[in-house]
A and B are shown apart, each in its own frame.
Chain A
Amino acid sequence: MRGIQKDLKEFHDAGIRPVAISVDSPEDSAKLCSTAGYTFPVLSDPNAETIRRYDLLHTAGGLGGTDISRPAEFLVDSTGTVRWVNFTEDIRVRAKAEDMLAAAKEIH
């Protein structure tokens, strides 16, 4: 997400709106945004309903055994269709901003 924020202007210029989603409460997300300086929407799914619907629930994956979202990225075009997805195999490795920008440029 730091990488997204760093390249946010490029994403916006490409017509892409990054939207982050986690199980954190709006208060925790607000804290994260102010400390990390995120200016794109960061949304809360505390009951993991959307995370479940996207089949991303990582049961007991959080600290203290809480259910969280696994990392995943989806590029959704204006018709609501998924155009690109990324599921990392290792939580330490995330999609590169340049790969996501390249995928975004394929959408007309």
Chain B
Amino acid sequence: MPEMVQRHRNVLLWLGTVLILLTVVSTIPQIYGLKFAPGILPWLGLLLPAAAVLCLVVGVSRAFKQPQIYRGKTLGSILGFLALVLFAGSVWLYSHARDLPKSASAPKVGQKAPDFTLKDTAGQPVTLAQMLSIPIDSASGKAPKAVLLIFYRGYW
């Protein structure tokens, strides 16, 4: 009777799965529109799925080459495909997130900020000059030191 060999768990497949989950988790701040996401997030979004692909490719290839030792031919292949799709998506997202206009003629430090008249949420016209002169705190009556203009993409 041939000796039964206990096959190993294919640890790389588990690691790959964890990395896939971490990739998904790292996109959550974006989904919730957390606009002050840390600067490392775009790199994590690329590195995590890349590492997942690497783990799964090695894990699956050893499951096929040494099936007597390593499990996971089917599950590993599915996970590997998932990781590849996720990586392709993250590359697209990365390039999309950086596809921004040059804004070469935007006001520079030391230049005057162009005045504007825009409607507030009540539909009332507001000018930059007003924003710079109306006191923040009506009790103190002091004009603000500065205005921080935050241009943003919108509420979609």
The interface of chain A, by Cβ under 8 A from chain B, is: 1-4, 11-12, 14-24, 26, 28-33, 41-45, 49-51, 53-59, 61-63, 68-78, 80-85, 87-94, 96-97, 100, 104, 107
B96-143 contacts to A, CB under 8 A, are 97-98, 100-101, 103-116, 118-123, 126, 128-129, 131-133, 136-137, 142-143
A78 and B145 within 8 A (CB): yes
Instruction: Establish whether residues B106 and A87, one from each chain, have CB atoms under 8 Å apart when the complex forms.
Output: yes
Which residue of A73, A78, A94 is within 8 Å of B149 (Cβ)? A73
Please name the residue on chain A nearest to B112 by beta carbon.
Answer: A80
**CB <8 Å contact, A19 and B150:** yes
Check A104 against B146 for contact (C-beta < 8 Å): yes
Give CA–CA (A90, B155) in the complex, Å.
Answer: 18
A26-B120, A53-B116 given as contacts; is B151 within 8 A of A78 (CB)? no
Q: What are 13 contact pairs spanning A and B, CB under 8 A?
A: A1-B35, A20-B150, A22-B155, A43-B119, A55-B105, A57-B101, A74-B113, A78-B146, A85-B109, A87-B103, A91-B97, A91-B98, A92-B97
Q: Which residues of A contact B119 (CB under 8 A)?
A: 26, 43-44
Q: Is the CB of B106 within 8 A of A76?
A: no
- Decide: A31 and B103 in contact? CB cutoff 8 A: no
Q: How far is the CA of A63 from the CA of B155 in the complex (A)?
A: 10
Report chain A residues within 8 Å CB of B33.
Answer: 2
Bound state CA distance, A12 and B140, in angstroms?
A: 12
Write out the residue numbers on chain A whose beta carbons fall within 8 Å of the beta carbon of B114.
50, 53-54
Kindly identify which residue among A3, A74, A75, A81 contacts B35, using a CB–CB cutoff of 8 Å. A3
What is the distance, in angstroms, from B123's C-beta to the closest C-beta of chain A?
Answer: 5
Distance in Å: Cβ of A63 to nearest Cβ of chain B: 5
Is B5 an interface residue when CB atoms closer than 8 A count as contact?
Answer: no
B1 to chain A, nearest CB (A): 60
Q: A15-B136, A45-B118, A78-B144 are in contact. List 4 more A-B contacts (CB 8 A).
A: A54-B106, A72-B103, A72-B106, A85-B109
Q: Are A82 and B150 in contact (CB under 8 A)?
A: no
Chain B residues near A31 (CB-CB < 8 A): 155
Nearest to A21 among chain B residues (CB) is B151
Are A55's CB and B153's CB within 8 A? no
Chain A residues with CB below 8 A from B97, complex form: 90-92
Question: A78 with B143: in contact, given A2-B34, A20-B152 (CB under 8 Å)?
Answer: yes
